[in-house]
Amino acid sequence: MVRLADRAETKPGQGQDGSRMLTSADGRRWIGVGSSAGEDSRAAGREATAAALGADAKLIIVFCSDRHDLESLVAGAREAAGDVELIGCTSAGEITADGAADDGVVVTAIGGDGFSVSTCHGLASENGPRAAGAAAAECMAKLERREHEVLMLLTDGVMGDKQEVVRGVNEVVGAGVPLVGGCAGDGMKMEKTFQLHGEEVLTEAVVAAAISSDGPIGIGWRHGWERIGEPMLVTRTRGDRVVEIDDQPALDAYLERLEAPANVRTDAAEFTRWARTHPLGLGRRPTGQEPVRCVNEAGFEDRTLGCTTAVPEGGMAWFMHGDSDSVLRSAEGACRDALDALGGEKAIGVIAFDCIGRRGVLGEDGIQAEVERIEAT
């Protein structure tokens, strides 16, 4: 959850097509959002981008369904935005203040002379996730520095160990630069995702936008998952696969401890849908704040678990679950944390990254309730 603020009060403004945006009172920073549910990819990209744009745009961030012809969509966005810096990725649902939708396009734009932006990308397909993270982070070196800054990362959702991406980034920028972002999606297929940078459509990539701001940037995160039962020892791993838990085959321990239904134990697609609501919690932080690893895939042959990123061997872990109340509370909490970090300044907008696992708990009505709680906060 990223909140953007300015030292001035905020007031409503109008985008190029009459869409609502928020601008600081002195006009130096603004954020706008546009969306399209159109079938034609080029037209949808152009429409959503035009709705988000204001004067002196510095960055557009595109989230879209993988059903689109992505080259055409990017071309449409370029028709509206010209040479404005662009990053983005495919998703598993797109969120605006009106709620969540599938198969659409959502564009967020920021601009004004109170922002500076630089973008880069790295390809994991060439030298691995760590090198891709390092290459993407090079955009920080080209950034016009201001008082507040953040590095936004959008990564391939199905490539190897995402923690390696963060290690590569930290090698370049150190641990002092705040990182925000998320993984690209492809609905619920978990087969292939795409990342967007400039005019390029990429896969197995990390795209990054370094953002520097005269006003504060608040960041908050929470997940809403709660521990089930006693902690376990992760006794063997292999990359992003958990091989053994408490010296048992990891898949067997997972299914048995969580009393998984019969169809989940044999059907890969059913397992993936069910596992989205039962991640692994790591470490010893207070519940609600510990890192989590989503479980994406069951190795029915070798009895392993495939996770979003590596799980430390020899570390403690918990099975997790959530309900709509805990997940909705976490959205409010993350939003408050981001607002508190602004030091009393007014927020002009929020950029939210929401895990697909939360949608599995909330359902469509719950996603709308989540958006309403964020707005109310």
Q: What is the mean pLDDT of residues 43-52?
A: 96
At 119-166, the pLDDT tens digits run: 999 999 888 999 999 999 999 999 998 999 999 999 998 887 788 999
- pLDDT of residue 73 exceeding 60, the answer is yes
Strand partners, 22: 12, 31
pLDDT score of 16: 42
pLDDT band at 286 (very low <50, low <70, confident <90, very high): low
Output 266 or 276, whichever has higher pLDDT: 266
3-state secondary structure of 314: coil
Output 13 or 302, whichever has higher pLDDT: 302
Q: Does residue 93 come out as left (phi exceeding 0), alpha (psi in the -120 to 50 range) or beta? A: left
pLDDT band at 375 (very low <50, low <70, confident <90, very high): confident
Q: At a CB cut-off of 8 Å and minimum separation 6, what does 230 contact?
A: none
Nearest to 175 by CA among 151, 206, 211, 155: 151
Q: Which tokens go with 289?
A: 């704040």
- pLDDT of residue 287 exceeding 80, the answer is no
Cα 172 to Cα 185: distance, rounded to the nearest angstrom? 26
pLDDT score of 12: 39
- pLDDT of residue 86 exceeding 90, the answer is yes
pLDDT band at 347 (very low <50, low <70, confident <90, very high): confident
- Which of the 8 DSSP states describes residue 342? T
Q: Is residue 190 within 8 Å of residue 269, measured between CB atoms? A: no
Task: Give the number of other Cβ atoms within 10 Å of residue 320's Cβ.
Answer: 25
Q: What is the mean pLDDT of the chain?
A: 87
Cα 198 to Cα 366: distance, rounded to the nearest angstrom? 34
- pLDDT of residue 77 exceeding 70, the answer is yes
Q: At a CB cut-off of 8 Å and minimum separation 6, what does 39 contact?
A: none
Q: What is the mean pLDDT of residues 6-13?
A: 40
* Torsion angle (degrees, nearest 10) of CA 162, 168, 173, 174: 80
- pLDDT of residue 53 exceeding 80, the answer is yes
pLDDT band at 253 (very low <50, low <70, confident <90, very high): very high
pLDDT score of 369: 77
The half-sphere exposure of 222 on its side-chain side, counting CA atoms within 13 A, is 19
Output 57 or 354, whichever has higher pLDDT: 57
Q: Is residue 235 within 8 Å of residue 264, measured between CB atoms? A: no
Instruction: Provide DSSP, 239-289.
Output: TTEEEEETTEEHHHHHHHHTT--GGGGT-HHHHHHHHTT--EEESSSPTTT
* Element at 63 (helix H, strand E): strand 57-64
Amino acid residing at 302: D
Q: Which tokens go with 254?
A: 């997972």
- pLDDT of residue 175 exceeding 60, the answer is yes
At 361-370, the pLDDT tens digits run: 777 777 777 8
Instruction: Look up the pTM and report it.
Output: 0.83
- pLDDT of residue 37 exceeding 80, the answer is yes
Amino acid residing at 329: R
Cα 154 to Cα 122: distance, rounded to the nearest angstrom? 11
pLDDT band at 115 (very low <50, low <70, confident <90, very high): very high
Q: What is the arrangement of strands in the sheet containing 346-351, beginning at the earlier edge strand?
A: 217-219, 2-6, 346-351
Q: Does residue 302 come out as left (phi exceeding 0), alpha (psi in the -120 to 50 range) or beta? A: alpha
Q: What is the mean pLDDT of residues 219-228?
A: 86
Cα 152 to Cα 179: distance, rounded to the nearest angstrom? 6
- pLDDT of residue 360 exceeding 90, the answer is no
Q: At a CB cut-off of 8 Å and minimum separation 6, what does 253 contact?
A: 232, 245, 246
- pLDDT of residue 280 exceeding 70, the answer is yes
pLDDT band at 7 (very low <50, low <70, confident <90, very high): very low
